Amino acid sequence: MIVALACLAAAVAGAIQRLTGLAFVLVLIGPAILIYGPIEGVTIAVLLAVVAALVAVGSGWRLIDWDRTLWLLIAGVVAAPLGALVTRLLPEPALLFMIAGLAVLALLTPRFGGPVSAMLRGRRGALYAGAAAGFLHASSGLSGPALAAYAVGDRWEQRRFAASAQVVFLSYGLVSVVLRGLPSAPVSDLMWLSLATAAGIVAGTFLTRIVPASAARTLMLWCAWAGVAVVFARAVLALRA
């Protein structure tokens, strides 16, 4: 029964990931931590995010914007080891507050206008956002806010962003799995969770045909802000522990 609930969460997370381009870990992280614990839960969520991205890449291959994607990848892969290192060095509350602060800054930057907003445009913006996202992915799995901020700042068309983001998440995820290691959960659990994730991605692919791009972008930003709230909540709870 518990694994079935985890599979349901994985399927919903997969559908939202395919529709908006992000939020897989955000949706799954709560149930995963409740069932498997904080360390194992995050590790499982990061691994399943690789599965989700791998399935989604094929369905949106023709929409991928390779120019933006490659610069995000380069910066993110370089910054990911730093995120893993900081995770080991900082106390958990300090790490979580730092992650949340960086995510808020990333989301607010496009609203500042002028030179500040210009930081998240073009190739330079991709490098800034990619570095932040790679760091956040390796440290918490929640790289969505930085990518969402760049998509808004550079006026990236929603469906092309959603497809391109899967390549980014796949690469970040593989690096994070190498840095974090594989989960110790039963193989049967991981298999069922992977199948549920794939089913969610397939369902999300059909939803992209009927959900307007503007609604998907709004949902993407709500998911990004929800991710920030989740990290802040985790930081406060860790501070009280």
Residues 25 and 31 sit within 8 Å (Cβ to Cβ): no
First to last CA, the chain: 29
- Give me the long-range contacts of 122-129 (CB less than 8 A, separation at least 24): 122/154, 123/71, 125/150, 125/153, 125/154, 126/68, 126/71, 126/72, 126/75, 126/150, 126/154, 127/71, 127/74, 127/75, 128/75, 129/72, 129/75, 129/153
Residues in the chain, overall count? 241
Residue of 126, 216, 112, 232 lying closest to 163 (CA atoms): 216
The conformation of residue 220, written as its DSSP 8-state character, comes to: H
Distance CA(11)–CA(145), nearest Å, equals 21
* C-beta of residue 134 within 8 angstroms of C-beta of residue 80: yes
- Show Cβ contacts of residue 67 under 8 Å, excluding neighbours closer than 6 positions: none
What pLDDT does 118 receive? Answer: 65
CB 37 within 8 A of CB 48: no
Look up residue 111 and give its two tokens: 């609203």
**Residue the block writes with tokens 């709500």:** 222
pLDDT for 3: 83
C-alpha–C-alpha distance, residues 44 and 40, integer Å: 6
Q: How many CB atoms lie within 10 A of CB 113?
A: 9
* C-alpha span between 71 and 76 (Å, rounded): 8
pTM across the whole model: 0.75
Cβ of 188: how many Cβ atoms within 10 Å? Answer: 9
Q: Measured on CA atoms in the order 2, 11, 30, 189, is the torsion positive or negative?
A: positive
Tens digit of each residue's pLDDT (9 = 90 or more) over 53-68? 888 887 778 889 999 9
Give pLDDT tens digits for 197-232. Answer: 999 988 888 888 888 877 876 776 777 677 678 778
106 Cβ contact list (under 8 Å, min separation 6)? 120, 129, 132, 145, 146, 148, 149, 150
Residue 194: φ, ψ to 5°: -65, -40
Could you read off the pLDDT tens digit of each residue along the chain, which spans 241 residues?
788 888 988 998 888 888 877 778 777 877 777 778 767 877 888 899 899 888 888 777 888 999 999 999 999 999 988 888 887 788 878 877 877 777 677 667 656 555 555 677 888 889 998 998 888 888 777 777 788 888 888 888 888 988 898 899 888 888 888 877 788 888 999 999 999 999 998 888 888 888 887 787 677 677 767 767 877 887 788 787 6
